Structure 1
Amino acid sequence: MSELLTANRIDEIGALGSASPDPAALVTELVGAVDEGRVADPADTGYALLVAADILKQAGDLADALALASRAIAEQPDEDAYARAVRGGLLLRLGRADEGIGELTALRPRLETDPDATYLIDELAESGHTETAVEWLTGALDAILERTRSQPHESEDAQDAAAAMIYGLAQRRHDLRAELGLPHDEYDNLADRLRAASNHALDALDDGPATLLFWPQAEFDALLLRWPALADSYPTSWDEHRAQLERALVDASGLGGADLGVVAGSVDGLAVFAQEAGSDPTDEETLDGYADSLDEAGVTAWPPGRNDTCWCGSGSKYKKCCLPRSRG
């Protein structure tokens, strides 16, 4: 029997894409595994078809890519939102604007609730509908901010999720408006403020291996309680803290950073380090020195595999946890 197609192999093929010397062979490998029932995890069937569709799209074969996206929807109708977005984008590229916009519009409400739904914006922008993408992002921000104002007693988890989504949507909107040459507005100013608040994480990066200091949830809460002055350097919630680090790591990777990772800190450890160094535990240099002092054996390499446990310690798979936080 032929070898099973694993999630890691699908990831490898997706990374190669149309840059492979023989992209057609990669498409054949993916589709063949689906046809023959050789996908190791049946839940990855749609993923395999969509990676094949993406390779064909990059190669300019939009009609066959559309057929595979439609098949991915039929294979896994209960988890078809991303596949439907891909199909919508392909319809737009094929000049079938009414069908494409219709497909994407049906998914538009997800922008207000699903942090991963910015794939809708990608499909619009990449198919030349950037103004519509900006309009949808503005509407989603309006809705989320209104929800947070009208429901002040939401759970902490709900508030954290809303904060992370506001960050991602505002940054994406800011970038698209810059491409269109539009002047700054209120949401652009918000995006700038939020980005500035997260830039401290990038300060730890240099031209070589880079490890960012990460505070597990209990330690993060204890950190701000013990040293309130750090509220100026860190966000107010742990969820946004891990979202900032994920985005910082993505940024570093895009700038050519290698050997990226996170290392978990502890409040007691920082206190001891600062005392021995005779320094202020809230000082940025102290925090950087503390991160450098931590045992290399405690570094968690980034990024994990899509189906591996997320680096943040939540226990969830990376693809369901912090990976979507980078897509803002």
Structure 2
Amino acid sequence: MPTSDLLTAERIAEIGALEYENTDSAALVAELVGAVDEGRVADPDDTGYALLVAADILEQAGDLDDALTLATRAIAEQPDDNAHARSVRGGLLLRLGRDDEGLAELTALRPALETDPGAMHLIDGLMESGHTETALEWLTGALEAILERTRTQQHSSEDAQDEAAAMIYGLVQQRHDLREEMGLPHDDHDHLADRLRAASDHALDALDDDGPATLLFWPQAEFDALLVRWPALVDSYPAQWDEHRAQLERALADAAGLGTADLGVVAGSVAGLATFAERNGGDPTDEDTLDEYADSLSGTDLRAWPPGRNDACWCGSGSKYKKCCLPRSRS
């Protein structure tokens, strides 16, 4: 089978972005589902991803029944890794008025809110179907459970502590935003959210101890060109662009969990790096040169992180953040 006939992860992501550009949604869904039906998904692990993107397109178009059919199929296609698909299915059931089924689906996944940042899809499903009180109850319960664990498990590993801090940050901020939307007054958890958001005296291993809280991001075309021009950088970057943006998302989330403020990314370009290195007599493949190049961009095109969950993703895909880098980077 010619490689050009295969549906890659990059193409799936591109289709996911096209749904926000008034493109023929039926044609996009046909491309995705057709590739699945004909066994043309380049990586079989992306089969569920393709079906869920198609389901999202149908959901945006108002075709909830067909979206539900595809979400249900995604669950069956990947039975060992289907929590995301099940959360999508639960949300669709709620929007279709099938509350008992939808809540049962989401309730079975509720414990993941205490361990998996990607489980925030459960909250999305509840909020988009008008179950805001339940969403707040679940956020509060998960947050308090993790806070209690951190108080009682004082001898846990440093990695476990970092993971708990990142989970606390995500939950407390989402809860804070939801309570603001509901017009509720600040409580102790909201004050914690404010303190964490404002804190700036913590460091993250993924960032230099004395460096800015800004990471260098390569848009897809620039990422591909970067590794072609300077092959030595293959040891510094992942092989695929999807993993590059996923690594940045994880690093930013971890930094936020530790209290680092004013986070963001700056988009680099191959031409810009070459010019910067030549002007400053540096090696484009040297880590110090890359850091200095990122610093030089901070005052020009800084993309603040995180964007709103319903805002365009920081990676430039055009998709909503909650449907792009946020869930895929934490799977």
**TM superposition score category, shorter chain reference:** 0.5 to 0.7
C-alpha distance in structure 1 between counterparts of 2:5 and 2:176, whole Å: 45
CA distance in 2, matches of 1:247, 1:85: 31
Provide the residue aligned with 1:37 in structure 2: 39
Are the aligned partners of 1:70 and 1:84 in contact in 2 as well (CA < 8 Å)? yes
Q: Write out per-residue CA displacement over residues 81-124 of structure 1, whole angstroms, 9 at most, x where no aligned residue.
A: 00000000000000000100000000000000112111111111
TM-superposed deviation, 1:127: 1.0
> d(CA) in 2 for partners of 1:108 and 1:31?
29
The equivalent residue for 2:97 is 95
Task: Note the 1:122-133 alignment, pairs <5 A.
Answer: 122-133=124-135
Does 2:243 match 1:241?
A: no
Q: Given residue 36 of structure 1, which amino acid in structure 2 is its aligned partner?
A: E
Distance 1:155 1:137 in 2: 25
Counterparts of residues 143-292 of structure 1 (less than 5 Å): 143-197=145-199, 216-217=205-206, 219-220=208-209, 240-241=254-255, 248-249=263-264, 259=267
Instruction: Give how far 1:142 is off.
Output: 0.8
CA distance in 1, matches of 2:192, 2:262: 17
SS in 2 for 1:78: coil
Q: Does 2:19 match 1:17? A: yes
Q: Which residue of 1 aligns with 2:293?
A: 295
Q: How far did 1:304 drift?
A: 6.7
TM-score for the superposition, normalised by structure 2 = 0.67
Query: Separation in 2 of the partners of 1:259 and 1:10?
Result: 22
The one of 118, 133, 137 equivalent to 2:120 is 118
Offset of residue 324 of structure 1: 3.7
Equivalent residue in structure 2 for 1:323, among 299, 307, 329: 329
Q: Is this contact kept in 2: 1:242–1:322, CA < 8 A? A: no
Q: Which ranges in structure 2 are unaligned for 5 or more consecutive residues?
A: 212-250, 270-287, 304-313, 318-323
In structure 2, how many angstroms separate the alpha carbons of the residues matched to 1:291 and 1:189? 40
In the TM superposition, what whole-angstrom CA distance separates every residue of 1:140-184 from its partner, at most 9, and x where no partner exists? 011001111111000000000000010000000001111111111
Match for 2:72 among 70, 73, 87? 70
Other-structure match for 1:57: 59
Q: For the residues of structure 2 that align with 1:322 and 1:36, how far apart are their CA atoms?
A: 25
Going from structure 1 to structure 2, the CA distance change for 1:130 and 1:247 (only over 3 Å counts) comes to farther
Is the 8 Å Cα contact of residues 160 and 239 (structure 1) preserved in structure 2? no
Q: How many residues align?
A: 252
Q: Which runs of 5+ in 1 are unaligned?
A: 202-213, 225-236, 253-257, 262-289, 307-317
Preserved CA contact (<8 Å) 2:12 2:32: yes
Instruction: Flag the 1:297–1:189 CA change in 2: closer, same or farther, 3 A.
Output: closer
The match for 2:139 among 134, 137, 140 is 137
Separation in 1, partners of 2:191, 2:120: 20
Kindly indicate whether structure 1 or structure 2 has the higher relative contact order, using CA contacts under 8 Å at least 6 residues apart.
2
Task: Write the distance in 1 (CA, Å) between the matches of 2:328 and 2:81.
Answer: 19
Q: Residue 254 of structure 2 aligns to which amino acid in structure 1?
A: E
Aligned 8 A contact 2:199 2:261 in 1:
no
Distance in 1 (alpha carbons) for counterparts of 2:295 and 2:90: 46
Q: Distance in 2 between matches of 1:242 and 1:170?
A: 12
Whole-Å separation in 2 of the counterparts to 1:41 and 1:246: 37
Using the alignment, how far apart are the partners of 1:90 and 1:179 within structure 2?
A: 22
**AA at the equivalent of 1:130:** T
CA distance in 1, matches of 2:11, 2:328: 21
* TM-score between the two structures when normalised by the length of structure 1: 0.67
CA distance in 2, matches of 1:49, 1:138: 32
Q: Specify the SS of the correspondent of 1:100.
A: helix
For the structure 1 residues 295 and 21, does the alpha-carbon distance in structure 2 shift closer, same or farther, using more than 3 Å as the test? closer
1:18–1:58 contact (8 Å) kept in structure 2: no
1:194-229 CA distances to partner (integer Å, 9 max, x unpaired)?
11115x99xxxxxxxxxxxx9654953xx59xxxxx
How many percent of aligned residue pairs carry the same amino acid? Answer: 63
Quickly say closer, same or farther: Cα 1:71–1:162, change in 2 above 3 A: same
> Do the aligned partners of residues 191 and 98 (structure 1) sit closer, same or farther apart at CA in structure 2, a change above 3 Å counting?
same
